[in-house]
Structures are given as C-alpha cells and as structure tokens.
Amino acid sequence: MTNSSAGLPAAGRLYVVATPIGNLGDLSVRARETLANCALIAAEDTRHTGILLKHFGITTPQLSLHDHNEGMRAIEIIARLREGKSVALVSDAGTPAISDPGFELVRAVAAAGIDIIAIPGPCAAIAALSIGALPTDRFCFEGFLPARGAARRQRLKSLEKESRTLVIYESPHRVRETLEDCLAAFGETRAATVVREATKLHETTYRGSLLELLHKSKSDADFARGEIVLLIGGAQMPASGDADSDATAALDKVLAALLTELPLKQAARLAAQITGARDNEAYKRALFLKQQSASH
C-alpha cells in the first residue's frame, strides 16, 4: 500500500473487532483473521484477551488499552498506524466502545484521518433486544445507570416519558434495587425483559411487568447471577403490549385486597364481579398472586 507520491508508507487501519460475550463460537471468521493478521492488538485486558487468542492459536502481540491509559495509548497507536501497521481494538467481551474502552481511540484515529473498519459481532444490548419481545424499531441505549441510588433514581425519573425501549446494562448484585427504582419511576405494569448470561450455558430470559420481574428477582435465586441486560418497554408499553394490561392491573389490585380477607375462590368470584373480568381469568390471577406472595 502506498500513501502518496512523497513515498510515505500508507497508513495502516484500525480494526474495531467484536469478540464473544460468552460463547467462543461467536467469534466470526473475519474477526479471527483480522486478529491474526494485524501487527498489534490493543486489548482492554491483555490476560483476558490472551485466553481468547490462545484458544484460536493467534500469536499477535498485545498492548493494553483501558479507561485509564486510552489517551496516551491513542498517541502510540496512531504512530504505529502511520508506520503502515494495522491495529485491532478489542475489549474483554462484545463490541469495543459500547460501555467499554475504545471511544477515545476511535475519535483520535478518526481525527488523524486514518481509516477505521468495523468487524461487527456480539453485543449484549443487541442480543437482548433481538430476543426481548419488546419493540426494537426504536430504542434508547442507557448503558450502565449511575451506581449511587439517588443519581440512579434521578436518571430513571428523567426517562419516565421515553417512548423507546430502554436498554440498560446492570450488574447482578444491583439488579433488584434497580428494578425497584424502575417500578417507582415507570409504574408496576410497565413491560420489561431481563436477559441473563446470553450465549452461555445458563442463558435465561425473564419477561413480564416490572412488578412480575421484581417478584421473580426475589423468588428465583438464579435471577441475580451472571451478566444481565435489562430492557424496559417505552411509556405506553404495559406488560402484555395491549390494553388488557390495564384491566389486569385493576383486577390485581382488587384481588390483592380481597385475598387478605377471603378464600381464593371467593376472592376470585367477587373480583370478577367488581371488575367485569371473566371468572376463570380472575381465578388464574388470584392463583398467580397467591403463589407470588407465598414465595416471599
């Protein structure tokens, strides 16, 4: 490759390479070839990426690039690119620069006028959206919410009227607290999906209203294990995706009150009369609510 009539070496390219989010089978052929053929791999954690490289028999040297050295590394990497060497950027898992290091480097390389090529692949947010059963025509990526409770609640409050599906990365030990905050901000009937351990052995997807997911987070010990993406339907998006959810919420409210005083069958019959719900529907909801409260 030549760069100019001045005989300077052509600049290399920066390849932004997505790597698996759990299942090594998800490394694309193109990603593998790129990692093998570049002069250098800039990796968030060289030990972590070392395991991936070893698995695929790739011996390309690595350089660490993380949040604390990205500015300095960008200068070094641009120098290598100008020498004509190509560099691959990877993070620990998924797509670099998506809630991961890489943005500063990409911006600096773009400003230097050097080509940047995407080698797309796994991304937890997109994987979750693709199976979440919530609208995907428009969505809003929030990444990680603030860790501190007050700041998190404030951020969620500001999203109360957001009509696009929200995509949130969450750590397992905070997911219950976050669901509680979401419930306070968006109401208990808002539809939500939790995708945990996508592409891994224990991949599980939980779908329901925020209230149902909060109950699940308390009753299912696995709920808060592993890596999690939380999706929340936009405003006007009740759990079943149609007007039935409002009716279900009203039925649940009446049932919750009656179940504290009456046997299940009687509570269901009365609730059906009060709300206009079908008898068998009221009975099913009563059973569901009873089971939920028994599991706490």
Among 14, 52, 93, 239, interactor with ligand SAM by CB under 6 A = 93
Query: What is the C-alpha separation between 274 and 289, in angstroms, rounded?
Result: 17
Q: Is residue 204 within 8 Å of 197, Cβ to Cβ?
A: yes
What's phi and psi for 225, nearest 5 deg? -115, 135
Among 70, 142, 170, 252, interactor with ligand SAM by CB under 6 A = 170
Write down the least CB distance from residue 294 to ligand SAM, Å. 29
Task: Specify the DSSP class assigned to residue 237.
Answer: -
What's phi and psi for 56, nearest 5 deg? -100, 5
Closer Cβ to ligand SAM, 36 or 98, answer by number: 98
Distances (CA, A) of 133 to 66, 109, 137: 34, 37, 12
Query: What is the C-alpha separation between 261 and 80, in angstroms, rounded?
Result: 75
Q: Which stretch binds ligand SAM (CB under 6 A): 130-138, 148-156, 164-172, 257-265?
A: 164-172
Per-residue contact string for residues 208-227; x = within reach of ligand SAM by CB under 6 A: -------------------x
Token pair of 200 as six digits: 């891994």
Among 129, 166, 179, 198, interactor with ligand SAM by CB under 6 A = 198
Q: Which stretch binds ligand SAM (CB under 6 A): 68-76, 163-171, 274-282, 284-292?
A: 163-171
Among 31, 179, 191, 195, interactor with ligand SAM by CB under 6 A = 195
User: With binding defined as CB under 6 A, does residue 121 bind ligand SAM?
Assistant: no
Considering only residues 259 to 278 of the shown chain, the ones binding ligand SAM according to CB under 6 A are: none
Distance of CA 100 to the CA centre of its chain: 12
Which among 94, 240, 244 has a CA at the least distance from the CA of 167?
94
Closer Cβ to ligand SAM, 95 or 292, answer by number: 95
Closer Cβ to ligand SAM, 9 or 143, answer by number: 143
What's phi and psi for 136, nearest 5 deg? -120, 0
Q: Is residue 125 within 8 Å of 195, Cβ to Cβ?
A: no
User: With binding defined as CB under 6 A, does residue 228 bind ligand SAM?
Assistant: yes
Considering only residues 171 to 190 of the shown chain, the ones binding ligand SAM according to CB under 6 A are: 171
Closest residue to ligand SAM, Cβ-based? 94
Q: How many CB atoms lie within 10 A of CB 293?
A: 12
Binding residues vs ligand SAM (CB under 6 A)? 21-22, 91, 93-95, 98-100, 123-125, 169-171, 195-200, 227-229
